[in-house]
Chains A and B, each alone.
Chain A
Amino acid sequence: NAGVTQTPKFRILKIGQSMTLQCTQDMNHNYMYWYRQDPGMGLKLIYYSVGAGITDKGEVPNGYNVSRSTTEDFPLRLELAAPSQTSVYFCASSYPQGQGDEQFFGPGTRLTVL
């Protein structure tokens, strides 16, 4: 199993550009998450999904969009990139066994917006 994979690893965007961060998991996990990690701020939840076709906002959704057409894929779309979106983005997945499921994280995408 590859686990959770993310592409690209690094990306530099200009202000106003758009891009999609890809996330794929091969563990047949129902739940998937997108986080951003900023220095000294921990991990903030952007969006999450409990299954194909179902998504919901997390703590910091503004400026982002997601879709979940399959169990495996959960892409994150940035429209009109802004410097405030410079961050490291992590995708994660978990299998619902009840409260407190282990989340499995991808290696991250480091995004810089200039």
Chain B
Amino acid sequence: QQQVKQSPQSLIVQKGGISIINCAYENTAFDYFPWYQQFPGKGPALLIAIRPDVSEKKEGRFTISFNKSAKQFSLHIMDSQPGDSATYFCAAAGSGDYKLSFGAGTTVTVRA
């Protein structure tokens, strides 16, 4: 059973548009929420991460929004570029746990 549910499975956005990927979890012990980015033929790489003591974290064009009461978090890619075309995975880990539970992934295609 997927501990972290991710949607949509895929999305297409025009260059300059906003990509939004949503994740939901049930385990209230989770308190670390990273996003990994994977390009075709490569391994995933950490993009950005958040802990529940903040509701938002921004790094460049990438922003994580976190809603603790709803047990949801999302990734926003502002001003999407063709180079952002990749698969994005949300993940979660519990306090003191180094193992990650991954979502199913979202393939983002940015059209020029």
Contacts and interface: CB of A to CB of B under 8 A. Distances in A.
B83 interface: no
User: How many A residues are at the interface, by size bracket?
Assistant: 20 to 34
B56 interface: no
A41 B105 CA distance: 7
A8 B46 CA distance: 24
B60 to A, nearest CB: 17
B102 A42 contact: yes
Contacts of B95: 99
B interface: dominant SS: loop
Nearest to B31: A99
A103 B103 contact: no
Contacts of A45: 99-100
A104 B34 CA distance: 13
User: How many B residues are at the interface, by size bracket?
Assistant: 20 to 34
B99 to A, nearest CB: 6
Nearest to B32: A100
Interface in B77-112: 89, 93-100, 102-105
A58 interface: yes
By Cβ-Cβ distance, the 8 closest A-B pairs, closest first, are A105-B43, A100-B32, A42-B102, A43-B102, A42-B104, A102-B46, A105-B44, A99-B96
Interface of B: 2, 6, 9, 31-32, 34, 41-46, 49, 51, 89, 93-100, 102-105
Given A43-B100, A50-B98, A102-B34, 15 more contacts: A31-B98, A40-B9, A42-B6, A42-B103, A43-B44, A45-B99, A48-B99, A90-B43, A90-B44, A94-B98, A98-B96, A99-B32, A102-B46, A103-B100, A108-B41
